Chain A
Amino acid sequence: MNDIANRKYSFSWDLLGDLKKGRPNLGDTTRVEVYRLMQFCFRDVLEETYGTEKADKLFYDAGFLAGTHFYNHVIGKTTDLGEFVRKLQDALRDMSIGVLRVEEEDLAHGRLLLTVSEDLDCSGLPELSYEICTYDEGFISALLESFSGLKFRVKEIDCWCTGDRTCRFEATVVADPVAA
């Protein structure tokens, strides 16, 4: 967090606008290329300005912020894991973000293995030698934290870009020494 006293771009859900009113003819969807065009151009510019590591962190943090708002506005409070996963699956499918699966769930030991196929960020990308869904990592970690109240570190371990057809995310609870 930067301590700018007067923020200009502080995010709020309202910023997404009234699409019914604003796009009566074009509707509330756009092409995936447009989304990716923005993503990858951002990535390029951020990397050039701040370096790779910082650019990745910015993407992770932006994903985290988005996930927090997404949980509050789309998923809604629930304490039941089954219900949470179901709502999330439905939302991700309905909004054409991806197809979510729970591969392994061991919340008692703070571990979760999730896969997302047809991921909005990476599916169909050329093969690269690294996982690219940093934004998704932050997004998922915010969802898990909002749901459970625990801090999660999320790492993508397989990605379309690494030749795998589904993205696989490993989520682990991290002890938060500051909060504890």
Chain B
Amino acid sequence: MTVLSDLLKALAAGQVPAQVPPDCEYKEEVGELIAYLAELAHYLRAMTEGDLAVPLARRGPLAGALKGLHANLRHLTWQTQQVAAGDFAQRVDFLGAFSTAFNSMVGALAQAREDLTNKNRELATAYEELKSAEAQLLQQEKMASIGQLAAGIAHEINNPMGFIQSNLGTLKNYGETLKTYFDATDQLAAQCPETVRVTLTQQRNDLDLEFLFEDLPTLISESVSGAKRVRDIVQALKSFSHVDEAEVQQINLNECIESTIATTENTLRAKATVVREYGELPAIECRPHLLSQLFLNLLLNAAHAIATQGEIRVTTRREGDFIIAAVSDTGCGIAPEIVGRIFEPFFTTKPVGQGTGLGLSVAYDIVKKHGGKIDVESTVGTGTTFTIRLPIKAVADQPISTS
């Protein structure tokens, strides 16, 4: 009896003997108890040492409670793995103060990740803006220097062109006068003696005067239209470099576009149906003739881009303090590799004599002068849209400049 009593005392003090003491009563039951306690101790030791893989086969309320704790720890492990894999929505709902700490830690991680993502996005946007600002700056510099060059060329060509054109007019009159004289001498020659007449006819045929008088007007009129073309180009150069300016007015852009369409109705009608989608617009502060020029250039390009018959669509709408106008066509489109160059002065894909390459650079400059923006979107084979964004009020710190 004392052996059992000593053993129970030892057990109550938390000491589990390695084996059943000899001479112990209830040897079998005591053996089972010791084995059970040893198993629990093994299980608990493993758990304490962090080994959550050791199972406990025993059942019963005591083992069950320990297994509940074990399950919670393993669940926590799984949750932590989930968090590590990026699932920041995991929350612990047991273990009291630990849960609070864990959950706020995961919350902070989620917040940090969100901040980082936002920062990254901001950075990327800033970088894009910087890049496009740099490109724009480069473009502006290029435009400015070419503008100066163009102004110089325009000025130099303008003067000689003036007298070439006027001389051609005079020359035409001189030709007609000569022809009158020639016809008169021709009639007189009929009355001359045979020998003189033969010589005159001979000379006249040798010099091919018949053809000369026939060809002279053609040559002159060709030169006149050539000279006119040169004048037009010079005019374009001048408007590109803003040699001439008009005053700022308040106008309705829809009306401005409409009158531009009217002036070029024939060219447009030959190529396309013009569809208008005019929005309700407030009056805009601008230089009307420049805007007409702008839309004329876009409309002509649109018509040129259409091979046989297509559609040109003009849309306008208000967007806050801006007016958005777009000119779309169902033409050939612009190849991606040249789209970056179309606003350059003298860039053209049209055959010599048909394109000056100034239309879009003038357009670009007009838009810029109004504190606006011009964008192009194009798909080869489908069509092109030029979109213009103009401030309704000329911006105070960016007045419509005159030079």
Contact = CB atoms under 8 A, between A and B. Distances in A.
Contacts of B162: none
A86 interface: yes
A163 B74 CA distance: 20
Interface string B60-84: 1101110110011011001100100
Q: Which one of B67, B68, B71, B79 has the greatest number of beta carbons of chain A within 10 Å?
A: B71
A41 B293 CA distance: 92
A166 B89 contact: no
Interface string A47-88: 000000000000000000000000000000000111100100
A103 interface: yes
Contact of B71 (A83, A89, A162, A168): A168
A104 B59 contact: no
Contact of B68 (A81, A104, A163, A165): A165
A164 B78 contact: no
10 contacts: A82-B87, A101-B75, A115-B68, A115-B75, A160-B64, A163-B64, A165-B61, A165-B67, A165-B68, A168-B71
B90 interface: yes
Given A102-B78, A104-B78, A158-B67, A164 B59 contact: yes
B67 A163 contact: no
Interface string B154-195: 000000000000000000000000000000000000000000
Given A103-B74, A168-B71, A86 B64 contact: no
Contacts of B67: 158, 164-166, 168
A163 B59 contact: yes
Given A163-B59, A163-B61, A165-B61, A103 B87 contact: no
B343 to A, nearest CB: 48
Interface of B is mostly: helix
A105 interface: yes
Contacts of B60: 163-164
Contacts of B74: 101-104, 113
A173 B87 CA distance: 24
Q: Which one of A83, A115, A158, A164 has the greatest number of beta carbons of chain B within 10 Å?
A: A164
A162 B89 CA distance: 35
Interface of A: 80-83, 86, 89, 101-105, 113, 115, 117, 158, 160, 162-166, 168
B113 to A, nearest CB: 15
A167 B82 CA distance: 23
A54 to B, nearest CB: 27
- Pairs A-B, 4 closest by C-beta atoms: A165-B64, A101-B75, A164-B64, A82-B87
Contacts of B93: 89
A103 B63 contact: no
A164 B60 CA distance: 5
Contacts of B63: 163-164
A86 B78 contact: no
Interface string B317-340: 000000000000000000000000
Q: Which one of B59, B67, B72, B75 has the greatest number of beta carbons of chain A within 10 Å?
A: B75
A101 to B, nearest CB: 4
Nearest to A82: B87
A86 B75 contact: no
Given A102-B75, A102-B78, A117-B68, 5 more contacts: A83-B89, A86-B89, A89-B93, A164-B64, A165-B65
Contacts of A162: 59
B59 A158 contact: yes
A179 to B, nearest CB: 29
Nearest to B73: A103
B89 A103 contact: no
Contacts of A102: 74-75, 78-79
Nearest to A103: B74
Contacts of A82: 82, 85, 87, 89-90
Contacts of A103: 71, 74-75, 78
Q: Which one of A80, A101, A163 has the greatest number of beta carbons of chain B within 10 Å?
A: A101
Nearest to B60: A163
A164 B74 CA distance: 17
A48 B90 CA distance: 46
B242 to A, nearest CB: 61
Given A163-B60, A165-B64, A86 B90 contact: yes
Contacts of B64: 158, 160, 163-166
A89 B74 CA distance: 16
Contacts of A83: 87, 89
A165 B62 CA distance: 9
Nearest to A100: B75
